[in-house]
Structure 1
Amino acid sequence: MKNIVAVTACPTGIAHTYMAADLLRKGAQKLGIHIRVETQGAMGIENQLSPQDIAQADLVLIVSDIEIEHTARFHGIPISTASIESALTDADQVLQDCLQLC
């Protein structure tokens, strides 16, 4: 089973950040992927990825239209990026693209 850690963030940090996170979780479950999703929204960082989560990851998925915080912690792990819109319209495809990289 592939292990992905993800960060979602949108410019306003309200609805789309959390909607994308939820869709990624649901899509990962359907595809047999283990995923942990951190949100960086209006409430700050929630469900923050632990160093252990990151160390065990096959891939980091950043779903954002803005610069996310603390990217240095992902050094040495393959990173895939996607827009918030792409996750909202087809989270399954975003995740399938990730599987091609890990």
Structure 2
Amino acid sequence: MKIVGIAACTAGIAHTYIAREKLVNAAEKAGHEIHIETQGTIGTEDAIPEAVLKEADVAVIAADVKVSGKDRFEGMKIIEVPTELVIKSPNKFIQKVEEVVKGGV
């Protein structure tokens, strides 16, 4: 599965990067490709390349604030959760993403 998404927290510092790291590690451990950009006080980092976006199966938005660029995900399944959820249970979250993509939820 190919996953893209955005991580963003209120301050745009700690939880943003922790959520990104947890998502990437859990997805790769499960055998998936993943690209998560971060949005915060210093702007957008590691923006999702257009080619990666076009091949994505699902978009994950792990955010505690409004994020920009959600329109890029139009036409694909989008899962929005607070950063705390992916930080506390990244592996379970990736299992849920798998279920959603397979049409189980």
* Bin of the TM-score, shorter chain as denominator length: over 0.9
Distance 1:29 1:55 in 2: 19
Q: Which residue of 2 aligns with 1:55?
A: 54
Q: Which residue of 2 aligns with 1:3?
A: 2
Residue pair 1:82, 1:94 contacting (<8 A) in 2 also: no
Q: Which residue of 1 aligns with 2:95?
A: 96
Instruction: Using the aligned pairs only, state the percent identity.
Output: 32
When the two chains are superposed, the root-mean-square deviation of aligned CA atoms in Å is 0.8
What residue ranges of structure 2 are gaps of 5+ in the alignment?
Answer: none
Work out whether 1:40 is the aligned partner of 2:39. Answer: yes
Work out whether 1:26 is the aligned partner of 2:25. Answer: yes
Residue pair 1:40, 1:68 contacting (<8 A) in 2 also: yes
Once the two structures are TM-superposed, the CA of residue 60 in structure 1 deviates from its matched residue by: 0.3
Kindly tell me the number of residue pairs found equivalent between the two proteins: 101
- TM-score norm. by structure 1 comes to 0.95
What residue ranges of structure 1 are gaps of 5+ in the alignment?
Answer: none
User: Which aligned segments of 4 or more residues in structure 1 are displaced greater than 2 angstroms?
Assistant: none
